[in-house]
Amino acid sequence: MTNPGNFNPEIHSTDFRKPFEAYRVGRNELVPIDGRKMESLNGKWHFLADPLEYMLRGSWYKEEKYDEAGREKPQDYDFDSYPKMKVPSCWNMERSDLFYYESMGDYIRNFRYVKHSDDERVFLHFEGAAYRTYVFLNGKPVGMHDGGSTPFTVEITDAVAEQNRLIVAVDGSRSDTRVPMSNTDWFFYSGIYRDVYVIRTGRTVIKDWFVRLVPDTDFSEIALDFEADGLNEGTAVLRVPELGIEKDVNVKEGKGSIVLKASPELWSPENPKLYDVELSYDGDTVKDRIGFREFKVVGNDIYLNGKKRFMKGICLHEDDIKMGKCTTEASIREAIRVVKEELHGVFIRLAHYPHTRLFAKIADEMGIMLWEEIPVYWAIAFDNASTYKDAENQLGELIRRDHNRASVVIWSVGNENADTDARFRFMSSLADFAHSQDNTRAVGAACLVNEVDERIEDRLADSLDIIGINEYYGWYNPDFSKLGRVLRNSAPSKPVIITEVGAGARAGNHGTSDMLWTEEFQEEFYRKQVAEIGSCSFIKGVSPWILYDFRAERRFNSYQEGFNRKGLIDSDRKTKKLAFAVLASFYETKE
């Protein structure tokens, strides 16, 4: 196609995003931040809503103010004049004109960098930006990442200068080939909504490290596997002072492994014992507080440290009425406190995507077990190869981020996905991938019920350790008696956790237990549900839907008003509904 000449060539470009694919980063580029001294780039950045994606389409990131002949160009942008946006934040919550904005947002800031040593390497690390992120430094693309809930790292050693111009374009749009796809029952917050850091290392950077109790060794062995990029051969040192461990680890081809005899005090919700662990190699050091425990499935039962456990849980979205998908330490601590102390729970299903890394860190400390999940939710493009790569990469990033977290006991590869051959291949491959990365956790998913023959039936279960079942008999399906028939018709060979069960109620809305949306209806619903669930021998846990009401774009009747109201607590995170006490008393007595 020849260009009319007097227009900017980019206005005719239809594949303007393609060149940036070359800068894609994923789990292999991810740098662990545990215990590192990092420099924060959080703060107020210039921001522009850019629905036509001109940062890319028009190569605005080059900031070319003059043409080849040195004439000033009439550029359409002027970054330093733009209003500021808080990083981290969800732009939906920062500006009312951006509440439903789901396209591209351009973030711009400067930063100064002075090398501390000749062999210094430097990285930009993002804890989370939704959904696709393009990173530009000093007029050049340096990184691109897909996935709205997992961290990513971009090495900028060769692109960084003393004075730097950093531009981050975040595409928050929905797409049927993304993970999740365009239809979700949770609000689509977007932006750079988690921390941004500069990381400095020497010539060698520890890229991944995994420390854990070795399963099936009578709790007597711990193992370390790690990878480093830089010095390929050498000696690393693993230290666990409280266990008297200071051990050299041989490194070959950038990898090191060791298994050691040790008898650590075991981590559990009742005794969340953590140990200071440090790994150093060729000038790089990572540190973490790590709990040692054994979580496994034997037959139809779930064991923690050799004892059978019933997973008394609840579901939780990362959703706050003021902060959107952002959260705070205080908010996390309060949620875990309510679950432990008031609900008598020991387990939280973090639905339906990786929550902030802070959640599992605090769960380790406070003692609660976690189900963590990637957003392979509903109608994913299961026959699309790049969709699978995206899903597997998000799972890989989640596992690398949290595999040293004792509280995380289950990796979930998805939720409520219609059964097709493509879905079976896609999700069983994800389950196999999770098993290949980590033999210290169970792999689960919210599976399917054969509603015609009224029994639990999902071929995906063959690839899983734990079968999750979401059921709403008595709510979406008004016939509550169907639950009993389904349970009596089923004979699963693995433990089942009821990963969702719930009914909507508006806090403060009262009436008879026959009236939808009343607290009394939800209370009676829970009373019938816990009686049925509690009497089924193959159900080894339940995480009802959901602890707090949460924002959802489709929920617009006069009781919901933009929120999914199945919470046991209102979106104010304070007002409990009557059903809360029903579940709490069930858990208080349930062994």
Site for ligand GCU, rule CB under 6 A:
185, 352, 415-416, 470, 500, 545, 564, 566
Closest distance to ligand GCU from the beta carbon of 470 (Å): 4
Question: Count of CB atoms within 10 A of residue 251's CB?
Answer: 21
Question: Count of CB atoms within 10 A of residue 530's CB?
Answer: 20
> Is 306 in contact with 297 (CB distance < 8 Å)?
no
Angle at CA of residue 414, ends 411 and 418, nearest 5°: 150
- Which residue is closest to ligand GCU by CB? 185
430 vs 546, beta carbon nearer ligand GCU: 546
392 vs 416, beta carbon nearer ligand GCU: 416
> Is 322 in contact with 93 (CB distance < 8 Å)?
yes
Closest distance to ligand GCU from the beta carbon of 320 (Å): 17
Q: Which residues make Cβ contacts (< 8 Å) with residue 295, sequence separation at least 6?
A: 302, 303, 304, 369, 409, 440, 441, 442
Closest distance to ligand GCU from the beta carbon of 560 (Å): 10
Tokens of 463: 């690839």
> Is 463 in contact with 431 (CB distance < 8 Å)?
yes
300 vs 450, beta carbon nearer ligand GCU: 450
490 vs 564, beta carbon nearer ligand GCU: 564
Tell me the CA end-to-end span of the chain in Å, nearest whole number. Answer: 72
Closest distance to ligand GCU from the beta carbon of 565 (Å): 9
29 vs 553, beta carbon nearer ligand GCU: 553
Angle at CA of residue 162, ends 159 and 167, nearest 5°: 55
Give me the count of residues in the chain: 591
Tokens of 570: 């209102």
153 vs 470, beta carbon nearer ligand GCU: 470
Phi first, then psi: give them for residue 529, nearest 5 degrees. -65, -50
529 vs 564, beta carbon nearer ligand GCU: 564
| Burial of residue 162 (number of CB atoms within 10 Å: 0-12, 13-18, 19+) | exposed
101 vs 550, beta carbon nearer ligand GCU: 550
- Measured CA to CA in angstroms, residue 490 lies from 345, 355, 484, 499, 573 at distances of 26, 33, 10, 17, 37
